[in-house]
Copies of this chain bind each other. A is one copy, B any other.
Amino acid sequence: MMENVGGTTYFYPTSAENSVTTNDTLSSVNSSVGSSYQVYPGTPSHVTALKSKTGSSSFFIAEDTRMDILNRNALTLLQPDPGQFPDLPQDVDNYHELCPLEPIPTNSLQKALIGYQASMYKATHIKTGTRHCLRRIHGFRLQNTKCMTYVDMWKKLIHSNIVQLKEVFTTKAFGDNSMVFVYDFHPGSETLLTKHFASDSMNGYVDPFATDPSAPRPYSHHKNSILRHQQNNKLPEALIWNYIIQLTSALRIIHVAGLACRSLDPTKIIITVGNRLRLSCLGVMDVIINDTSTASNPVGLIQHYQQEDLTSLGKLVLALACKSTMAVQRENISTAVEVVTRTYTTDLRNLIMYLLSPQQRRSVTDLMPMIGARFYTQLDSVQTRTDVLENEVSKEMENGRLFRLLVKLGSINERPEFNMDGTWSETGDRYMLKLFRDYVFHQVTEDGRPWLDMAHVVQCLNKLDTGVPEKVCLMSRDEQSILVVSYAELKHCLEQSYDEVLNASAPTDNVT
């Protein structure tokens, strides 16, 4: 029974059907069929079984996933230090907030590969606010727009092992004629070169055991140094196959689309957490080396580049298996293959041999039998990762809702003044919400100790959010009156009060 006197509801013995949670019985038992509000029910057993992969099975996000995401978010939000890069333009086409992603090259040595100096920036799209990766080719004038056909083809290519090309434009914003290739930004990526060949020098062609790399050395020296290097750093074969599957997956759709990668080398393949590989820099060669548009037989030329992609893949796998880019030097290849034969399966050797046999016409399809059942292993591991991630999502999903609810409550409780009324937050609906706030946060035990229980807070807020019919006893601060209200009524109070604040927050000239 309730009675409303002067806006305050007073409490009389209630009917037995409704469970009433009082300040004294600090926990309530929910015996209904199916809870009417949502909580995370704990880690499911099929995810618990993967303990070694997930770390812990707590109610909060796994620490490694969390640190990884924090790191990626921080990198996404990173702003350049204007003092360090005074020459950076404010805007480049539709992009601003440029932030160099690698040291800007200052000498011409790095021009070797494509004949142009290149640099890379993170930038924010002015309209969408999304971060992108810009690859700038310095001092480049586009002579022939035919190559833009390739750009359009690249832009349509969406694949989980490819960094998608978004657009290409020319700009004078850097003070020269630059060509800019815009890609997805994958924060926290590193190249395969830095990940696995860090001990080699950057160009990958220096023998760390020789003082004079041009001096003639006996065959056994090569072999021993490659072998010693590989044995100290050997990559697990499963990881190499994981890479092969991802790289062939990307190559396959590139070749099917009538394109060629043309830059399949460890400096252009990026790796993010979970060993995801992505081919980057796609389309640059098609624009910069403008031979495809002038060739008499462009299809034949693309097929030639596709064959070169497969050769590059073979070299890359050989380098990974020997853990050294030195292995792909012409004079080392036979030694390197010997090393692979000794330490890895015949399948891996055969795959490398096939890819490094340019006299035959090769294709990704022919590689599939060599990969064989490893496709299944790969699928299982990726599917397992989705199971783990789904569990992470369900852990954190409800927190956003509860947070927003507390923000609403906070905007009402103790508001000093509303529409010139200094007592607004202490009267009517707001009074109920004030007492409810006390009920949620300020309960004390019988002997007067503060009673802190996160489960109580979460449960009360969930019931409020759902507006369950269950009733709750709210005591006035002077302990002279007790209000009995249902969560449904409290929900109504909250919505009403928040709407009042929200409506009043609109500029007066917009109120009609």
Contacts and interface: CB of A to CB of B under 8 A. Distances in A.
Contact of A42 (B61, B130, B396): B130
A365 B373 contact: yes
A129 B449 contact: no
Nearest to A387: B160
A325 B146 CA distance: 55
A25 interface: no
A501 to B, nearest CB: 5
Nearest to A477: B416
A168 interface: no
Interface string A61-81: 100011001101110111111
A361 to B, nearest CB: 18
Interface stretch (A229-237, A342-350, A375-383): A375-383
A490 to B, nearest CB: 16
A26 interface: no
A184 B46 contact: yes
Given A413-B414, A450-B501, A386 B397 contact: no
A102 interface: no
A271 B20 CA distance: 41
A112 to B, nearest CB: 30
Interface stretch (A30-38, A283-291, A331-339): A30-38
Interface in A392-423: 392-397, 399-400, 402-404, 406-407, 410-411, 413-418, 420
A269 to B, nearest CB: 15
A82 B368 CA distance: 56
Interface string A474-507: 0001000000000000000000000001101111
Nearest to A505: B450
Identical copies of this chain, number: 2
A218 interface: no
A393 B504 CA distance: 35
A304 interface: no
Interface stretch (A3-11, A134-142, A171-179, A436-444): A436-444
B414 A414 contact: yes
A311 interface: no
Q: For the side of the interface on A, what is the size category?
A: 35 or more
Given A78-B33, A81-B33, A185 B380 contact: no
* Residue among A404, A411, A441 facing the most chain B CB atoms (10 A cut-off): A441
A161 interface: yes
B379 A66 contact: no
Interface in A254-308: 274, 276
A410 B158 CA distance: 47
B79 A34 contact: yes
A419 B418 CA distance: 33
A70 to B, nearest CB: 6
Contact of A186 (B31, B40, B46): B46
List 9 tightest A-B contacts by C-beta distance, closest first.
A160-B383, A389-B389, A399-B400, A396-B396, A399-B399, A46-B184, A41-B76, A410-B441, A375-B375
Given A34-B77, A46-B184, 11 more contacts: A46-B164, A69-B397, A73-B394, A159-B380, A379-B382, A389-B389, A399-B402, A411-B441, A411-B452, A449-B507, A450-B502
Interface of A: 31-35, 38-46, 48-50, 60-61, 65-66, 69-70, 72-74, 76-81, 128-132, 158-161, 163-164, 166, 184-187, 245-246, 248-249, 252-253, 274, 276, 364-365, 368-369, 372-373, 375-376, 378-380, 382-387, 389-390, 392-397, 399-400, 402-404, 406-407, 410-411, 413-418, 420, 437-438, 440-442, 444, 447-452, 454, 457, 477, 501-502, 504-508
